[in-house]
Structure 1
Amino acid sequence: MTTNISECMNSILNSVRNLPVCSLVKATYGRLAKLFVRKGREAKAQLGTRKEFSQHLVKCIEANLKMVRCFTVTLLCSLANQTCDCRSFQALYFLCPHALACCAYSRVNWTAYVHRVYRLSSVFSVYRMGFTPPILEGFWPPYDGPTVIPDPNKRLAREGRPRSTRIQTNMDEEDSNRPKRCSLCRQPGHTRRSCPQVEGAAHSGGHE
Structure 2
Amino acid sequence: MTTNLVECINSVLKGAGNLPVLALVRATYYRLNEFFMRKSAETHERKRAGFTYFVFAQLRIEVERIPCRHVIACCANQRIDCQLYVHDVYKMTEVRKVTDTPGLLKRQDEDRNNLEKLTLAVLSHLPTAVLYVHDLSGECGTSPSDQFSIYKEIKERFSGHLWLDVVSKFDLLKPSPVVYATEKPSPTEFELEKYRKSGPDGAIHVSVKTQQGLNELKKKVHELLCLQMAKIKHTMEQPREVRGTTQSVTANL
Normalised TM-score (structure 2): 0.33
Higher relative contact order (CA 8 A, sep 6+): 1
Normalised TM-score (structure 1): 0.39
Rg larger for? 1
